[in-house]
Structures are given as C-alpha cells and as structure tokens.
Amino acid sequence: MKIEINEQRKDASCVHLAVIGEVNIHTSPDLRERLKPLLNAGHKEIHIDLSGVNFMDSAGIATLVEGLQWSRSTGGRFVLSGLTENVHDVFSLSKLDTVFEISEDSESA
C-alpha cells in the first residue's frame, strides 16, 4: 500500500504537499518521513492538500497532529486543505476541525 506525495515549494519558507491515496497505519510513516525534514529545515508554512485522500485512519490523524505540534513549536503555520467528505467527517467527529487551520482548497490557504 502506497501513497503519493507531491511537493511544491512556493518560496523559501512555504511548502505545499499534495497527498494522494489512503493515509492509514501502513502509509502514514511515509507522510511523516516527508514532513520531518521540512519541519526541521524551518519552513514557516506547510500546506497539506488532502483533496486526493479518500480515507484516513487514526494513524494518519496522529501524523498530522504531530506535524501541527512541530510547526507550532517553531512558530510556523500548518494548513490543511481540500478535505474530502470522509476525511472532513473524521476531523469533525474528533473536534480536530477546531484545532487545525483548514481551508477549502490549496489556493485559498
């Protein structure tokens, strides 16, 4: 099981990651491994486009929470965008939609 993660650098401090596939216990380590160097490099803005994700389990949520915590500890901005209905429901039910900055799409983030 794999996910696809496409990276686009907007400028020296802002990176967009577009995630495609299911983010679950098997694939969330791949997302974590892509996030860690970006956060360690001191990027001030990280935008995660989830419009290509149709399923996310608690391991995927935990990876994003970890990214949010790393980002906040350095004064950065961690934005999620393009949540599909299934993924948005997970964030709503867990009340994490009040914790994360979520935008409709990556262009408005």
C-beta atoms surrounding 104 within 10 Å: 11
Assess if residue 109 is contained within a domain.
no
Assess if residue 54 is contained within a domain.
yes
Tell me: pLDDT of 79 over 80: yes
Q: Considering the entire predicted model, what is its pTM?
A: 0.90
Residue 79 structural domain:
4-103
Place of tokens 């608690």: 58
Rounded Cα–Cα distance for residues 19 and 8 (Å): 12
CATH number at residue 17: 3.30.750.24
Q: What is the mean pLDDT of residues 77-81?
A: 96
Assess if residue 108 is contained within a domain.
no
Sort residue 45 into left (φ over 0), alpha (ψ -120 to 50) or beta.
Answer: beta
Assess if residue 21 is contained within a domain.
yes
Q: What is the pLDDT of residue 107?
A: 63
The total number of structural domains that make up the chain: 1
Tell me: pLDDT of 51 over 80: yes
Q: What is the mean pLDDT of residues 86-90?
A: 94
* Radius of gyration, CA atoms only, the chain: 12
Tell me: pLDDT of 109 over 60: no
Q: By mean pLDDT, which of 36-50, 67-81, 94-108 is the weakest? A: 94-108
